[in-house]
Amino acid sequence: MPSTPAPPATSSPADPSPEDTPAEQASGAPWRKVLWAAMLGNAVEWYDNALYGILAVVISRTFFPGGDPTVALISTYLGLILSYAIRPVGGTLMGRLADVKGHKYVLTLTIVMMSVGTVAIGVLPAYSAIGIAAPVLLALCRLVQGLGASAEYTVAANFLLEHGPRNRRNYLSGWSVGSTSLGPLIASVLAYVLIVTLPSDAFNSWGWRLLFLLAAPLSLVTLYIRRHTTEAPEYKRVLEEARNSAVEQTPFREAVRYHWRDMFCAIGLGAGQRVGSFMIQSYFVTALVQNGFGEAQALLAAILTYVVGAPAAVWGGWIADKYGGKRLLVSGYSVFVLFTVPTFVAIESGSFLLAFLAVVVFTVINNVIGGPLTTAYVMSFPAHVRGTAAALNYNLGTTLLGGTAPLLASWLVSATGTEVSFGWYMAAVCLVSALVAAFALPKAIDAVREPAEPDAGSGSPAPRDPDPSQAAPRPAPSKEDLQS
């Protein structure tokens, strides 16, 4: 087990790094730069996810044999699941790298892998050109993207929370959640513009490929910003002490051995929101189209969900910091339990206005609870195993519950003939999350909620009390204990 001690309790993750310039120290710029680095990386990740869901029908026609459109669509969603199936493995590897080599190293690697996996889809030959090799190469692209994204969200959130003000953690997490709407918003707007401006044949033939290629510029900007960030001072000390330790660093073993209960609680806590996020970003457009609404109308609905999703997440984070994450999560999930079935009833109603409003309200509920959830994913674990434990719990929940949601929805609709069947499934999942929030909420959610004391002169966060999540970990076990 790691013998790395926690950093001194008096250190602050928002303290300026020795590598920062005097101007940065005076302005508080380091954590704001980290905020941009985290948000843009999330945008790249979810740009790909949303684009794949928006273009699922076109992708199924392009890379899979014709015949049964339902089989082709389900095969396309299997590609989405594949990119998430690899995430627990990738998250474990990437999370360990974050614990051993640092956040900046991993965040540089993740943005490169994600952009390669996304852009490559834009140049893949179709099934009509290379046969079975087309879906195989598509699956390979999804694997590369999934590996890159496996630790992107949690490591970026960790990076941000260790730099930012502690008494505004849920608020900063809300910005992180809100940025996951930025990528889908860009994807939806660009897709809508191309759909309404290009002839249908041109869009289905080559126009859709432009959308994947456009991920490259956003990735390059993100890479540039990340290469000009630094680790938080206290996390530098954690890394330095780990490198100087005589005991082999095994964050995965310690996370699983000592923190498995917290990981299961985090998975259960985020279950409903994980399913909801993937319905918003990967299924609702398909559901609206299959229920008789045009692609342009469906994309307009998707665009508005992303417009309202970002401020809803930031607002939810602000509420959680002011009134408590537990209150927000319990009440938010309770509303979600009551609202999921009516959402899918509205989608089948034939009224675009009713379906449109239902999907938008669904998105607001889903994103409002995202801030404290992100704080739970990351801050429930001590710093020296946080990268591994956070990536593992987040990716297991995302893969098992979120990544399978569109495929399960398609299967249930095919089996029952109604979208409402999936609504009942999601209501049950949200009920589980509400119960976890009420009775097994990780303590880190509401550990720090003292009033903010900003320094009006510098704009930098004021000194804070010691962070409970940074308390010294249990003493490292002996070699005999490890062998046992």
344-379 residue pLDDT tens: 999 999 898 999 999 999 999 999 999 998 888 888
Widest Cα–Cα separation across the chain: 70
Is the model's pLDDT at 63 over the cut of 50? yes
Is the model's pLDDT at 245 over the cut of 60? yes
Instruction: Quote the pLDDT of residue 333.
Output: 96
Is the model's pLDDT at 225 over the cut of 80? yes
% of the chain surpassing 90 pLDDT: 26
Q: Output b/e per residue, 139-154; b: 16+ Cβ within 10 A.
A: eebbbbbbbbbbbbbb
Q: Is residue 33 part of a domain?
A: yes
Q: Is residue 17 part of a domain?
A: no
Instruction: Quote the pLDDT of residue 151.
Output: 80
Lowest mean pLDDT across 48-62, 117-131, 276-290, 450-464: 450-464
Q: Which residue has the higher pLDDT, 455 or 167?
A: 167
Is the model's pLDDT at 129 over the cut of 80? yes
Average pLDDT over residues 460-471: 40
Is the model's pLDDT at 426 over the cut of 70? yes
Q: Which residue has the higher pLDDT, 247 or 24?
A: 247
Average pLDDT over residues 438-446: 76
**Total of domains in the chain:** 1
Q: Is residue 13 part of a domain?
A: no
**Residue 339 — pLDDT band, cuts 50, 70, 90?**
very high
Is the model's pLDDT at 244 over the cut of 80? no
**Residue 248 — pLDDT band, cuts 50, 70, 90?**
low
Average pLDDT over residues 107-131: 92
**Please, how many CA atoms are within 13 Å of residue 21, restricted to the half-sphere of its CB?**
7
Q: Is residue 52 part of a domain?
A: yes
Q: Is residue 131 part of a domain?
A: yes
The 8-class DSSP code of residue 441 comes to -
Q: Is residue 245 part of a domain?
A: no
pTM of the full structure: 0.73
Average pLDDT over residues 313-320: 94
Q: Is 474 exposed, middle or buried (0-12, 13-18, 19+ CB in 10 A)?
A: exposed
Instruction: Quote the pLDDT of residue 303.
Output: 85
**Residue 482 — pLDDT band, cuts 50, 70, 90?**
very low
Instruction: State the average pLDDT for the chain.
Output: 80
Distance CA 372, CA 447 (A): 11
% of the chain surpassing 70 pLDDT: 82
**Residue 96 — pLDDT band, cuts 50, 70, 90?**
confident
Q: Is residue 259 part of a domain?
A: yes
Q: Is residue 291 part of a domain?
A: yes
Return the residue matching tokens 């843009």. 40
Is the model's pLDDT at 13 over the cut of 60? no
Instruction: Quote the pLDDT of residue 409.
Output: 87
Average pLDDT over residues 206-229: 91
**Residue 427 — pLDDT band, cuts 50, 70, 90?**
very high
Is the model's pLDDT at 452 over the cut of 70? no
Backbone angles phi and psi of 293, in degrees to 5: -90, 145
Is the model's pLDDT at 445 over the cut of 80? no
Instruction: Quote the pLDDT of residue 362.
Output: 95
**Residue 269 — pLDDT band, cuts 50, 70, 90?**
very high
Smallest Cα–Cα separation from 2: which of 243, 234, 236, 262? 243
Average pLDDT over residues 388-396: 82
CATH of the domain at 142: 1.20.1250.20
Range of the domain at 130: 22-232+251-445
| Contact (Cβ atoms closer than 8 angstroms) between residue 300 and residue 386 | no
The amino acid sitting at 365 is I
Q: What is the dihedral of CA 162, 46, 394, 461, to 10 degrees?
A: 20
The amino acid sitting at 409 is A
Is the model's pLDDT at 411 over the cut of 90? no
Instruction: Quote the pLDDT of residue 460.
Output: 38
The 10 Å Cβ neighbour count of residue 302 is: 27
Average pLDDT over residues 419-444: 89
Average pLDDT over residues 318-337: 92
Alpha helix (H) residue ranges in 417-478:
420-439
What separation in angstroms does the CA of 57 have from each of 34, 64, 72, 224?
37, 11, 8, 34
Lowest mean pLDDT across 139-143, 234-238, 464-468: 464-468
Residues in the chain: 484
